[in-house]
Amino acid sequence: MEVKQKIQSFTDLVTWQEGHKLVLDIYKSTKSFPKEEMFGLTNQIRRAVVSITSNIAEGFNRKSIKDKTHFYVMAHGSVAEVQNQLLIARDVQYLEKSEFSQIANQTVLVHKLLTGLIKSLSRS
């Protein structure tokens, strides 16, 4: 039987860990975006994806359930923002379909994990 470890840091949250993988995927993928997008789509999608894990980290360290929920909901919104920007990147052919699919699937996973995290707070 697996022994569950106590979560002591935001980095122990599976939600943050999967979000961090998403950050790394986005940074890797956007390196190949056109240089003229450096201050456009590249910057926007990078800021949005970093916002996901930043809000998870900040929410984790808040004391009240209301504050925690607020930051996790903000992270949820940032996932939707990244999903929209990925669609744009795909449609303007900055991403290959296979790369898009892999990253899009990761956004769905992070979204589901955040939903579970938010629901767990409402049961507290």
pLDDT confidence of residue 58: 98
SS3 113: helix
- The string of pLDDT tens digits covering residues 50-82 is 999 999 999 999 999 999 999 999 999 999 999
- The string of pLDDT tens digits covering residues 32-56 is 999 999 999 999 999 999 999 999 9
Residue at 67 is within a domain: yes
Residue at 29 is within a domain: no
How many domains does the chain divide into?
1
Q: Which residue has the tokens 């808040």?
A: 62
Residue at 12 is within a domain: no
Q: Which domain holds residue 42?
A: 38-122
Residue at 107 is within a domain: yes
Task: Using the predicted structure, report yes or no on whether residue 4 has a pLDDT greater than 70.
Answer: no
Residue at 49 is within a domain: yes
Q: Does residue 79 contact residue 111 with C-beta atoms inside 8 Å?
A: yes
Residue at 50 is within a domain: yes
Q: Does residue 47 contact residue 23 with C-beta atoms inside 8 Å?
A: no
